[in-house]
Amino acid sequence: MKPIHLLSAGALALAVTGAAEGRRLSPAPAHPGEGCAGLAGLALGNGSVVSATPVAKGTTIDTEPGKPGLPAAAPFCRVQAVLTPVPGSSIKVEVWLPELAAWNGKLLGAGNGGFGGSLMIPALTMRGGVARGYATVGTDMGHVGSGDVDGKWALNAPEKIRDFGWRANHLGAEAAKRLIAAYYPRPLAASYFHGCSDGGREALMEAQRFPTDYDAIVAGAPAIPWTRMTSAFAADDRVAFARPEAVIPNAKLKLLQNAALAQCDAKDGVADGVIDDPRTCRFDPGALLCKAGDAPSCLTAPQVETARALYRGVRTADGKPFYPGYMPGAEAVPGTWDLWLTGPNAQHGRFATDFMRYMAHSDPAWDLTRFDLARDYALAKRLQGANLDADNPDLRSFFGRGGKLLMYHGWQDAAIAPENTIDYFTRVQRTNRAAGDSARLFMMPGVSHCLAGPGPNVFDALGTIDTWRQGGAAPERIVATKFENDLFGYLGFPAKPVRTRPLCAYPKVARWNGTGSTDDAANFICTAPGKP
């Protein structure tokens, strides 16, 4: 299964408070099919509706020319709009409106991924939302990209960078609420946002910068702080590839994985190919050091150094921690280390190159051989930190109006270091008195970037935040499922479940109670780390 790329995925402002209060901007249609077409041309403040088309269930939804689409899971009105808030800005927005009888009264905003540039990743979330009765909205982040890693659009384009960094999703939320007010006869009851990877960064940016846009937010594996993270990506690439003799061949990743699992898998009481909390695994790749020369069954001394550096994380020239490292236990799982860290065209190097070229140095000829951590991070932070970083822990405005924040991160994520999310969540708790009742973090054993990996990785984030925001208790346990095909399971296609496990509110961890199947979440309890 191809991994979902990162990095790869507002309440009305004062000008439209009437919609937030439930006052329609135009009469709601008696027949949604006719009313859908009637939305074409509607003014949206910063732009207008380009087209509005009824979509039947099963119709293929194409969001990017030449790329495969998905069948619609339910009928809806597909509204396509373009917003141009300032010269140099052009944001494509789609709002999908379920039929009147099917609408649950709520809005779901969908995060993008990578550098954005299309609506393919938001469409995955939007499709599932419409199937559950949500009106949904997504944007292309204000530009058209080519390929899964493309930052060329940002060269000397400050307004497009602002769109990508924070403006597109905010204006998308405003547009969606205006359309909802025009299309439905009853007011909007609640609005939620869900994004992972860069979508997780987008989610946190919404909570930090536009706290009235959404009532509850799900932020998975957030790509924060962007300038520090991409600087760390560049440093990782230099560690992995600057010296040919230190490159770890992908064929040797299995050595690291097998040795880490042999040492640590059973520490949580269940030998299942998943390390429950990899921080407790004091695995040293030096155990794999070749005794004489190189061989397929061992690591050379330079390869051991590379592995140690990737586990340890990026350090500054004086040895201080700069960005966390990556966890042992799934190094050879496709879509982890091979994709992000050690394989040909590793994604860390590609993302770092395009960011530094087009958003920091404004020099298409810049390459990673010129990277200097202290100099280039300082430049990136100065130029783009305010636009992109999204790591402000002060969420008092969001929590103060009843906002809920659910975060999650896979322990085996080789794209974005999982301890980075723990660090941000901890700072949120320290900064906000309301965080105890308003914020939760769920760490996911055996899960890679946003989806997939050997651990159970599909769970109902939307249902969880909806119950929570509507007055339910803060979630302490969420059941996740591992499918034979995780993407099919995530999309709701037929897929065979392999196992279920509880995800526990951080810092608690799941422990088998000693009876029944270890593939059944019902036989696990959430307990404090370190307890049997």
Q: DSSP class of residue 14?
A: G
In the three-class reduction of DSSP (H, G, I as helix; E, B as strand; rest coil), residue 513 is classed as: coil
Separation in Å, CA 252 to CA 218, 283, 288, 326, 338: 36, 16, 10, 17, 10
Choose, from 197, 231, 438, 448, the residue flagged as catalytic. 197
Among 140, 237, 338, 413, the one annotated catalytic: 413
Terminal CA-CA length for the chain:
35
Q: How many residues does the chain have?
A: 532
Output 207-210 pairs: Cβ under 8 A, ≥24 positions apart: 207/395, 207/398, 207/403, 207/405, 208/390, 208/392, 208/394, 208/395, 208/398, 209/166, 209/170, 210/10, 210/11, 210/166, 210/170, 210/173
Question: What Cα–Cα distance (Å) separates residue 337 from each residue in 107, 222, 310, 410?
Answer: 36, 18, 10, 14
**Residue among 176, 6, 170, 15 nearest 107 (CA):** 176
d(CA 109, CA 171): 11
Residues 189/78/200/445 CA torsion (nearest 10 deg): 90
Q: C-alpha distances in angstroms, 183 versus 19, 73, 189, 191?
A: 11, 20, 14, 16
Asked about 197 being catalytic, the answer comes back as: yes
Is there a contact between 29 and 475 (Cβ–Cβ < 8 Å)?
Answer: no
- Within 58-186, residue ranges assigned H as helices are 120-131, 158-162, 168-183
| 195 beta partners | 219
Q: Which of 140, 449, 466, 486 is catalytic?
A: 449
Q: In this structure, what token pair is assigned to residue 23?
A: 């006052």
Q: Is 413 a catalytic residue?
A: yes
| CA 72/CA 12 separation, integer angstroms | 28
Please confirm, yes or no, whether 362 is among the known catalytic residues. Answer: no
- In terms of Cβ atoms closer than 10 Å to its own Cβ (0-12, 13-18, 19+), residue 352 is buried
Distances (CA, A) of 142 to 9, 73, 112, 117: 14, 27, 11, 7
- In 3D space, the residue among 348, 355, 356 whose CA is nearest the CA of residue 376 turns out to be 356
**Closest alpha carbon to 456 in 489, 486, 481, 478:** 481
Catalytically annotated residues: 197, 413, 449
